[in-house]
Amino acid sequence: MSGSHNTLGGDLAVLVLEDGRVFRGEAFGAIGQTLGEAVFSTGMTGYQETLTDPSYHRQIVVSTAPQIGNTGWNQEDDESVGPTGDAAGARIWVAGYVVRDPSRVTSNWRATGSLQDALENQGVVGIASIDTRALVRHLRTRGSMRAGIFSGDALAWSGAGILDTDALLDRVRQQPSMLGADLAGEVSTTTGYTVEPDGEALYTVAAIDLGIKTNTPRMFAQRGIRVHVLPSNATLEQILDLKADGVFLSNGPGDPATADGAVHLTKEVLGQGLPLFGICFGNQILGRALGRGTYKMKFGHRGINIPVIEHETGRISITAQNHGFALEGEAGEEFDTPFGRAIISHTCANDGTVEGVRLLDDSAFSVQYHPEAAAGPHDAAYLFDRFTTLLSARRGTGVSK
């Protein structure tokens, strides 16, 4: 990704998809070139949380909501921190941003700048004033695919002064696919850091950072849990040295089939009998550790209004999601693992995609969605309480759910 400053005002930008579809619009954010996988998000709010979510690393996000940017940008809602846990190191992780109608006016009491400013300052290349409905219909039909946004000097022209889209298409097709992409190490903390609880520390959790969002340690801290955020290549010895009461597997980007190190660590944790909780990418890692396969979805789930069924209780939660890969399995399916019987505990009400898995002895569970979603919805926040109950049971302190 490369870019220079731009003020939205008619500079030509082009979005090129790997199947040859081309959309012309106006430059938005930085001017230059960016490459990534084109995906769409249906959330009408929470664009700052989306753009700073490390799970979107190497993806060009298309917003289905027609107007974006009304509330500007603030210093509180970033979902990432620096590699050492420093909030000042927060950054935008998306490769590029596609919107129809960016707001030219910022109106929010917390805003410290505009969305345009944030994209420019961080060199994020975007495009606006295109038919995002047509683009999303295309991606739903053909599937998420490699893409590129080009503006300014990154555009290619023929000798006759005609835009050379074939040259741009060549650049798009030369980038690697998301299938087989090992990205967790690119977004993980490098040194580790600790988030202290609100009040007395009741428990200690080792959180494996595969692309963790800022609100996750905050949710633990609200429940009296000290969180040691560890790099994606953390070892069992590091976890045991911390005397952790449990382990958390975070969300993150890339293909879970490449995350053999995290899967190996998860098997070791399960062998120790430590309570384990996983979210999103962490759900896929736990699933792999239990012997399930993964696959790339056609266009994935990305948004904040996706219904999920918990089959044991019949409870339906409206959830925030961001994933292009999923676990293999069927609703309510029970299966044997080296760690005891397990079950496919949750599925998506829309399409039956696996949304959760757990061991029947309740020592480990995970969900594909985001119960920590800062921008909402908050239907699934109770899962943090459920994990706290597991920590309490192992400790024998009698803390209730």
List residues with catalytic annotation.
280, 370, 372
Q: Using CA atoms, how far apart are residues 210 and 185, in angstroms rounded to an integer? A: 7
Write the burial class of residue 171 (CB in 10 Å: 0-12 exposed, 13-18 middle, 19+ buried).
middle
**Residue 3 contacts residue 124 (beta carbons within 8 Å):** yes
CB 181 within 8 A of CB 67: no
* 334 DSSP β-pair partners: 343
At 170 the three-state DSSP class reads helix
DSSP-assigned beta bridge partners for residue 228: 194, 206
Question: Residue 74: what are its φ and ψ, rounded to 5°?
Answer: -130, 180
Count, residues in the chain? 401
Q: Which two tokens stand for residue 247?
A: 């382990």
Q: How does DSSP assign 3-23, residue by residue?
A: EE---SSS-EEEEEETTS-EE
**Contact status, residue 114 vs residue 19, Cβ threshold 8 Å:** no
DSSP for 255-322, written as a single string: -GGG-HHHHHHHHHHHHHT--EEEETHHHHHHHHHTT--EEEEEEEEEEEEEEEEETTTTEEEEEEEE
Tell the residue number behind the tokens 């962490």, with chain if given: 282
Distance CA 61, CA 74 (A): 20
- Residue 231 CA to residue 168 CA, distance in Å, equals 37
CA angle (224 as vertex; 219, 225 as ends), nearest 5? 70
Are the C-beta atoms of 229 and 84 separated by less than 8 Å? no
